[in-house]
Amino acid sequence: MTAWRGLALALSWLTVLPVRAGTGSAPAAGVAAAAIRWAPVVGALVGAVSGALAWGLVAAGVPTLVAGLLGVAAGVLATRGMHVDGLADTADGLGCYGPPERALAVMRDGGAGPFAVVTLLVALGAQAAALATVAPLGPAVATAAGALAAATGRAGFAWCARRGVPAARPGGLGASVAGSQPWWVAAAWWVLLAAAAALLVPARWPGVLGVAAAAVLVVGLSAHTRRRFGGMTGDVLGAASELGVTAVLVVLSAAL
């Protein structure tokens, strides 16, 4: 039951789907941990829709870059923008001077500073351009690329929330899942996704390299944010997801 409740919670947390995840504002620790393990599956669903939409728009005659941008926008809307918000807040936190308390205060502020704006422009622009390159290759390729990228991005959640990494502050999503995952959960997801990429993505190796690049970026981000903030936050999860998505799509667009 905990696993299925975790899936419902993952759908509730990570999408706009009206899924009931139980009563109460604070989920049980085991259910929250299970939701993190289900996150790549939820991401694959969101990414598949984004990729298929981009291909459909290209097939309908929409310019490829516009189709790529709309495909990315659909993914952002499907997640309530929470991952891009996390990326923006993390960028501002890392870009400010001062102790961890100062960085966390900047991240809680809610506004978008210059680091956030530039980071979002680069990340979302790269995703849109990459998806625009992949979308004309056909519905199967576009859908698989979108699903692989989004699933890989969410697999980074488990690494950021691995045991031994504390929450940087009390309360919020980060505190509810910090330290909840064995280190091998993220590794297992990355290996599984790399194997799926070798089977589903043309030319085999681009997908594997994309997953590997995403894993390296997430490991580096987790280490740096742990030092800078004193632990992990929900914003760091969002940043890890968007870095992973960007890495996979860029590698695929360059190699396919």
Tell me what pLDDT residue 73 has: 98
Determine contact, residues 151/14, Cβ cutoff 8 Å: no
Predicted pLDDT at 201 = 78
Asked whether the beta carbons of 71 and 128 are under 8 A apart, the reply is: yes
Nearest of 202, 63, 156 to residue 71 by alpha carbon: 63
pLDDT for 140 equals 94
Show the tokens assigned to 33. 């941990």
pLDDT of residue 204: 74
Q: If 0-12 CB within 10 Å is exposed, 13-18 middle and 19+ buried, where does residue 223 land?
A: exposed
What's residue 22's pLDDT? 63
Distance spanning both ends of the chain, measured CA to CA? 41
For residue 202, what pLDDT is reported? 73
Q: What is the DSSP string of 99-145?
A: -HHHHHHHHHS----HHHHHHHHHHHHHHHHHHHHHGGG-HHHHHHH
Q: In residues, how long is the chain?
A: 256
Nearest Cα neighbor of 220 from 158, 159, 151, 161 is 159
What's the pLDDT score for residue 207? 93
For residue 197, the model assigns a pLDDT of 93
Question: What are the pLDDT tens digits along the chain (256 aa)?
Answer: 788 899 999 999 999 998 877 645 678 889 999 999 999 999 999 999 999 999 999 999 999 999 999 999 999 999 999 999 999 999 999 999 889 999 999 998 877 889 999 999 999 999 999 999 999 999 999 999 999 999 999 999 999 999 999 999 988 889 999 999 999 999 999 999 999 999 887 777 999 999 999 999 999 999 999 999 999 999 999 999 999 999 999 999 998 8
Can you give the pLDDT at residue 19?
Answer: 87
Q: pLDDT at position 142, please? A: 96
